[in-house]
Amino acid sequence: MILDNFYSALEDRFRGSRQVIKERQSLYLPLVDALSLRVRKKILDVGCGRSEWLELLEERGIESEGLDTNEEFVTQARQAGLDVSKADVMEHLRQQPDQSYGLVSAFHVVEHLGFENLLLFLREAYRVIDDDGALLLETPNPANLLVGACTFYLDPTHERPLPSALLGFAAEFAGFARVVVLPVNRAFLQNNLEFTPDELPGADVINKVVSSIDQNFMQAPDYAVIAFKKAGNELAGIAESLTLHSPLPVSAKGMEEVNALLAQRRDQEEVNALLAHRCDQEAELRAAHLAELRAVHLSVIAAEDRARRSQEHVIALLSSSSWRLSSPVRGAGVLLRNMAGLPRKANSFAKLFLRHVAAYIRCRPRLKKRAESLLRRVPKARTCVVLYAGLTATQEVENGALPVAVAPADQQTAHSHVLHADLINAESVGSE
């Protein structure tokens, strides 16, 4: 039995640093990002090891959990705040309900299972994956002779290498309708092979040797199987277009095609960057608009609160004892103000009435004579009528109205007697 601490040290020596593994596994992030938007379910990483993949998922905000049987790996992952459990993969899968995960991933795990257990694992993985989900497997590529003959056996727990054709067929046999096989991690081989220019002597022979070395020893050291339950799953197109980091060596004649492809890729990256910038601008505008709406909403709430408090204050005032006790006083004040205005209103009404009566009499000669006869008998009353009617003595004489009343001779002053005599003399002269 291999100890947990021995296997942890072996991983650290030959697997590569955590940063290198995260760079390799970041290849699959476009697929996972697209899948997480369509399937809102957890990702299960089987045999998570040092949990580099789980860290990448956490950085993307994607919910995930991991399984491993190595106690040291589980402890390190939990200390890093990751959701990792110590459990056997087959026992864990059997306990899960159907379609409980959006994705099941296993990096360098299937080569540890043995072929019979591999078929059982694929069947259980098919059951627990959502109909729109996928299975992601990565394993050493025996098509690379150095891997298949040597480096594969650096891990004493490996059972046997699995050719990509065999693992892809096993996934289809388990029920997956669409299987995509991708060679990966070739860029990390530091392949510096180049073809000799065709015009040099012996170029054909040298290039055949270079091609043979490239095809047998410089193949991608790993490959991935991405399997989908539905044949028409649109994510399969994303899986097929995942970037492979190192191109095959090409001849001088093929460089133009390679450069054209690279230029097309750069153009696409520029378009993607522009779209991302526009999305950021729209997000900022939406955030500013939401902030304005929130401020208006808060001001409306504050205004409603002030109105409510004012209404409560008025209700409290009207319901108070002091308001009820002071009600008679307020009523008396209103009554006094109304009574104070009554004489003025009555006087105005009387003047208006007398003016209408005077106008009515003035237009009727018979009635006018009777009124003159009556008012001569009561001079004071006549004077009051004229004042209230708003007419002067001169206007009444010119209009044929009643003359102004003159005080009796015994009530006149000495000056009045002189004026009266002068007026009588003037009348006699005018008549002659």
The most confident of 27-36, 184-193, 422-431, by mean pLDDT: 27-36
Residue pLDDT, tens place only, 409-423: 555 566 666 666 766
Q: Is the pLDDT of residue 306 over 60?
A: yes
For residue 110, give both structure tokens: 């299937």
Identify the pLDDT of residue 146: 80
From the number of C-beta atoms within 10 Å of its C-beta (0-12, 13-18, 19+), residue 139 rates as: buried
290-329 b/e with 16+ CB inside 10 Å = b?
Answer: eeeeeeeeeeeeeeeeeeeeeeeeeeeeeeeeeeeeeeee
Separation between Cα atoms, residue 69 and residue 88, nearest integer Å: 6
Task: Give the pTM.
Answer: 0.54
What are the angstrom distances between the C-alpha of 78 and each of 42, 49, 81, 84, 112?
18, 12, 5, 6, 24
The pLDDT tens digits for 133-147 are: 999 999 999 988 888
In this structure, are residues 22 and 52 in contact, taking their beta carbons and an 8 Å threshold?
Answer: yes
Phi, psi of 388 (to 5 degrees): -70, -30
pLDDT for res 399:
45
pLDDT for the residue numbered 130: 95
For the stretch 393-404, pLDDT in tens is 334 433 444 444
pLDDT above 90 covers what percent of the chain?
A: 35
Mean pLDDT of 347-370: 75
Q: What is the pLDDT of residue 271?
A: 74
93: which strand partners?
A: none
Give the chain's count of helices (H) and strands (E). 19, 7
Mean pLDDT of the chain: 79
- Say how far apart CA 231 and CA 390 lie, in whole Å: 110
> Has residue 75 got a pLDDT over 90?
yes
Per-residue pLDDT at 72: 92
Q: Please say if the pLDDT value at position 52 is more than 90.
A: yes
pLDDT tens, residue by residue, 192-238: 556 567 667 766 766 666 566 655 556 788 999 999 999 888 888 88
pLDDT at 330: 72
Per the model's pLDDT, the better-predicted residue between 286 and 54 turns out to be 54
Percent of the chain with pLDDT over 70: 72
Identity of the highest mean pLDDT range in 112-121, 257-266, 317-326, 416-425: 112-121
Sheet holding 222-228, edge to edge: 84-86, 64-68, 43-46, 101-107, 129-140, 222-228, 178-184
Give how far the C-alpha of residue 108 lies from the chain's centroid of Cα atoms, to the nearest Å.
41
Q: Which residue is associated with the tokens 């394993």? A: 139
Distance CA 186, CA 184 (A): 6
Q: What is the reported pLDDT for 396?
A: 42
**pLDDT higher than 90, residue 278:** no
In the DSSP assignment, the letter for residue 242 is P
Residue 265 has pLDDT above 70, yes or no: no
* pLDDT score recorded for residue 395: 42
Query: Computed from CA positions of residues 209, 213, 214, 215, in that sequence, does the dihedral angle turn out positive or negative?
Result: positive
* Domains along the chain with CATH numbers: 4-249 (3.40.50.150), 349-431 (no CATH)
pLDDT at 50: 93
Confidence of residue 360 (pLDDT cuts 50, 70, 90): confident
229-258 confidence digits (pLDDT tens): 998 888 888 888 885 443 444 344 444 544
